[in-house]
A and B are shown apart, each in its own frame.
Chain A
Amino acid sequence: NAGVMQNPRHLVRRRGQEARLRCSPMKGHSHVYWYRQLPEEGLKFMVYLQKENIIDESGMPKERFSAEFPKEGPSILRIQQVVRGDSAAYFCASSLQAKEETQYFGPGTRLLVL
């Protein structure tokens, strides 16, 4: 029973490039959450998706960031025209249900913007 999978594990981009982060939830999980963690800080919620729908994107910057969770395939977090401040670890989590349900985290993608 594979856990939450994320790739790539490490991603280096130059300023202005695009970053595309992928997350495959645990088998049977249809709820996906993306969190960002800056060095030495806690995790900050970005976006919550259910298959083909964005449920809550209140934590995601309005510009340059987008997320999707298509019917087939992994969830994608896309960052356009990256800036140095985007350097962080991006974790996705999945859960079986939404309310009061354990969220299982993936290993994260560490994005470094040069």
Chain B
Amino acid sequence: GENVEQHPSTLSVQEGDSAVIKCTYSDSASNYFPWYKQELGKRPQLIIDIRSNVGEKKDQRIAVTLNKTAKHFSLHITETQPEDSAVYFCAFQTGANNLFFGTGTRLTVIP
């Protein structure tokens, strides 16, 4: 069945350092991989996504890399700020078009 493993489950970094979150997925047919940020009590918000025709995508301090052969993708946040503290979810789109989510990474940026 469909599965995605997300690591680490918790991550603490000093302000200004980088944070990396990794996901490994099962559905080799998937072509769409979004990352969502969820603050406490709020809705998930898309921060970046990547489609399988590219291997890397960057948006200011956020970047995502995709390795389809190895079936894993990673989120990189550079120059972290306290407002980056939240839970981050990776996901992939299944053949049925819904999203299959990872278990989340709780990122804490220490000022």
Residues of chain B at interface, number, CB under 8 A: 22
Could you tell me which residues of chain B, from 7 to 31, have a CB within 8 Å of some CB in chain A?
Answer: 31
A77 CB to nearest B CB, Å: 15
B60 within 8 A of A: no
A48 within 8 A of B: yes
Query: B43 to A108, Cβ gap below 8 A?
Result: yes
Binary interface encoding of chain B residues 22-52 relative to chain A, with 1 for a CB under 8 A from any of its CBs, else 0? 0000000001101010000011111001010
Residues of chain A at interface, number, CB under 8 A: 26
Binding site for A on B (CB under 8 A): 31-32, 34, 36, 42-46, 49, 51, 89, 93, 96-104
List 14 additional contacts besides A43-B89, A43-B101, A105-B36; criterion CB under 8 Å: A31-B97, A33-B98, A35-B99, A45-B98, A45-B99, A58-B96, A99-B31, A99-B93, A102-B49, A103-B46, A103-B99, A105-B43, A106-B43, A107-B43
